[in-house]
């Protein structure tokens, strides 16, 4: 029989109040709290703490506090990663971002979802799907990326958009739900 962490890692429905799942989330919460308590003027300490938290990170990494995540080790960013204030990444499944990604304030990247039925939610179930974000992507303020989405290269997601489906390269996304607009950048 699979453990709840094995179910989680396999993309199956899992019991999110399981002690191993809760412990993993508690570790990330503590590291986020430590990061968020660092002085805003101590970029070196902030970068070191975020590198501790993330699975992998390239060169030139800048994350503005506050920052929140569920695990941290499932977050992988390339070179020249920049996020503004109040980024939340629910990285139950992997979140992989390419090079030259810029993220505006109050953005949510959510790999996890819960059952649509009341009975499923009463069982404290969750399921996560990975999110992939390509190179040269800009997510405007208050953008939400939903589970399982892949965003291509050279994409701009306009402020306030909710992205619930894959995005091709060289696209502007806008609206709720976000719609694609082909543009020349």
Supply the residues annotated as catalytic: 114
Q: What are phi and psi of 18, to 5 degrees?
A: -55, 140
Residue 112 Cα to chain centre, angstroms: 10
Q: Please provide the DSSP assignment of 81-122 as one string.
A: EEE-SSEEEE-SS-EEE-SS-EE-TT-EEE-EE--SSHHHHH
Residue 24 makes CB contacts below 8 A (sequence gap 6+) with: 5, 70, 71
Structure tokens at 152: 């291509």
Q: What angle do CA 17, 19, 21 make, to 5 degrees?
A: 70
Please report which residue ranges of the chain form alpha helices under DSSP H.
4-10, 19-37, 43-53, 118-122
Question: How many other β-carbons are positioned within 10 Å of the β-carbon of residue 172?
Answer: 18
């Amino acid at each position: 029989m699979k453990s709840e962490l094995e179910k989680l890692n396999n993309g199956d429905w899992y019991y999110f109040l399981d002690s191993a799942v809760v412990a993993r989330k508690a570790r990330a919460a503590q590291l986020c709290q430590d990061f968020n308590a660092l002085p805003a003027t101590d970029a070196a300490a902030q970068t070191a703490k975020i590198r501790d938290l993330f699975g992998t990170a390239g060169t030139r990494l800048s994350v503005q506090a506050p920052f929140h995540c569920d695990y941290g080790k499932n977050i992988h960013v390339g070179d020249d990663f920049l996020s503004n204030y109040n980024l939340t990444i629910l990285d139950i499944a992997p979140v992989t971002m390419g090079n030259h990604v810029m993220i505006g304030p109050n953005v949510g990247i959510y790999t996890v979802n819960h059952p649509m039925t009341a009975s499923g939610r009463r069982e404290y179930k969750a399921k996560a799907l990975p999110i992939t974000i390509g190179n040269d992507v800009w997510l405007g303020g208050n953008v939400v990326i939903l589970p399982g989405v892949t965003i291509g290269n050279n994409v701009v997601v306009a402020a306030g958009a909710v992205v619930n489906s894959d995005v091709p390269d060289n696209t502007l996304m806008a609206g709720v739900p976000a719609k694609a607009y082909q543009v020349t950048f």
